[in-house]
Copies of this chain bind each other. A is one copy, B any other.
């Protein structure tokens, strides 16, 4: 018996465990202090009433033999896929039902999609980055190249023609930097991928935070993307489904590699190694697309975005530079006074009693940066920014 020794090459992430340990130590030493967490990437608002109503109704369906649902299609029910086709049509993206695969979340699909590719592909990943891109490829023994996302390029790297990559990860709006690709820069990536026979894995989990029509919310808004890009998206941040688990992946018919349809491969992968998302959850997700559902989820997104604006305004006043905050729930700020990420973490915890996420935990280019999230409630967000302002002004 030989184990998959690539697991030994995955780096242990101490980021969140170290944050938890330091926070707990501080709280133990200062039991009366109210520590505010602006480090969490999880939503805090409950599911909206339309979703709740539909979840209850679906539970009732499961209680009666005549409406009970057993095994469903592994790739998702048509009632949900049809809503997504309409959602994409509003973005002027035309998709077929069978190009959409419903899943239990973007994280699963982003990992599992790698089953489709040979080990011998060169993977290109931005730094800083959501650690799952790196870990899943390391687990499979693939060679990873990193590309710099930094202050100079606004955390939005563009293709370097001298680098030959086969699998390219892009996340826009970005986690952790909050930076968003515009049409022009994203077109550069699509052109690069088509020219180099590469596949772009496009993580659109935060697309609902983009305001207006000036920025793309789907890579398929870029001409040529259907022959090179797979898009991952999720109801987690759109509709508060982080604990309800539903996402979707688009694999266009037009992506054909070595004469093989990646859509057909993914269908085969999912029908073989997955058994679909709960009927109840898919019914709840479909309710997001009702008129009332759309109004409700937009209200929640606006709420989080107002939090982000409060944070951004405070940083503007402090003269601290950052990306994100406008089209993203994340703010990625440059630590003041040349502090390192962890120095600033300690400073924030001790002087402002606010917990954030040290940028260094997302890659080497994250050093000197710090991530704040807009997912706490209004009261805490205001209070946190007042404390941060006071602490930084006293520097």
Residues of chain B within 8 A of A260, CB atoms compared: 3, 7-8
A104 to B10, CA, bound (A): 25
Q: Which residue of B lies closest to A61 (CB)?
A: B46
Quick one: closest B residue to A131, CB to CB?
B272
Known contacts A278-B244, A279-B243; decide if A1 and B273 are in contact (CB<8 Å): no
Minimum distance in angstroms from A167 CB to a CB of chain B: 7
A24: interface (CB < 8 Å): no
Query: 1/0 per residue A252-265: CB within 8 Å of B?
Result: 00000110101001
Cα(A2)–Cα(B59), bound, Å: 44
Cβ-defined contact, B70 with A42, below 8 A: yes
Bound CA span A112–B277, Å: 16
Hey, what's the 0/1 contact readout for A16-60 against B, CB within 8 Å counting as 1? 000000000000000000000000001111110100100110011
Q: With A63-B47, A70-B42, A105-B275 as known contacts, state yes or no: A258 contacts B199, CB within 8 Å.
A: no
Contact of A4 among B5, B70, B115, B272 (CB under 8 A): B115
Cα distance A132–B269 in the bound complex, in angstroms:
11
Q: Which of A60-114 contact B (CB under 8 A)?
A: 60, 62-65, 68-72, 104-105, 107-108, 111-112
Report whether A1 and B105 are in contact in the complex, using a CB–CB cutoff of 8 Å. no
Q: How far is the CB of A335 from chain B (nearest CB, A)?
A: 27
Residues in chain B near residue A243, CB distance under 8 A: 62, 68-72, 276, 278-279
Interface size on A, residues (CB 8 A): 72
A266-295 interface with B by 8 A CB criterion: 268-269, 272-281
How many copies of the shown chain assemble into the complex? 2
- A213, CB-defined interface residue at 8 Å: no
State whether A63 touches B52 (Cβ < 8 A).
Answer: yes
Residue contact B56 to A272, C-beta cutoff 8 Å? no
Q: Which of B52, B65, B269 contacts A62 (CB 8 A)?
A: B52
Query: Which of A64, A105, A107, A132 has the largest count of B CB atoms less than 10 A from its CB?
Result: A107
For residue A148, CB closer than 8 A to chain B, the reply is no
User: For A275, what are the chain B residues with a Cβ–Cβ distance below 8 Å?
Assistant: 104-105, 107-108, 245
- Most chain B C-beta atoms within 10 Å of own C-beta, residue among A45, A111, A262, A275: A275
With CB as the reference atom, state the residue of chain B lying closest to A260.
B3
A166 at the interface (CB under 8 A from B): yes
Q: Contacts A59-B56, A268-B10 hold; do A65 and B44 have CB atoms under 8 A apart?
A: yes
Q: Are B72 and A45 in contact (CB under 8 A)?
A: no
Across the interface, A280 reaches (CB within 8 A) one of B1, B120, B167, B244, namely B244
Please tell me if the beta carbons of B121 and A1 are within 8 angstroms of each other in the complex: yes
Task: Beyond A4-B118, A52-B62, A104-B104, list 20 extra A-B contacts (CB 8 Å).
Answer: A1-B199, A2-B117, A2-B166, A3-B262, A3-B265, A4-B116, A4-B117, A4-B265, A7-B265, A46-B62, A47-B63, A52-B59, A70-B243, A105-B275, A108-B274, A111-B272, A112-B112, A243-B278, A244-B280, A278-B278
Residues of A within 8 A of B (CB): 1-5, 7-8, 10, 42-47, 49, 52, 55-56, 59-60, 62-65, 68-72, 104-105, 107-108, 111-112, 115-118, 120-121, 132, 135-136, 139, 166-167, 197-199, 240, 242-245, 257-258, 260, 262, 265, 268-269, 272-281
12 A–B pairs (Cβ distance < 8 Å), ordered by A? A2-B117, A3-B258, A4-B116, A10-B268, A42-B70, A52-B60, A55-B62, A68-B243, A108-B273, A111-B272, A136-B273, A245-B275
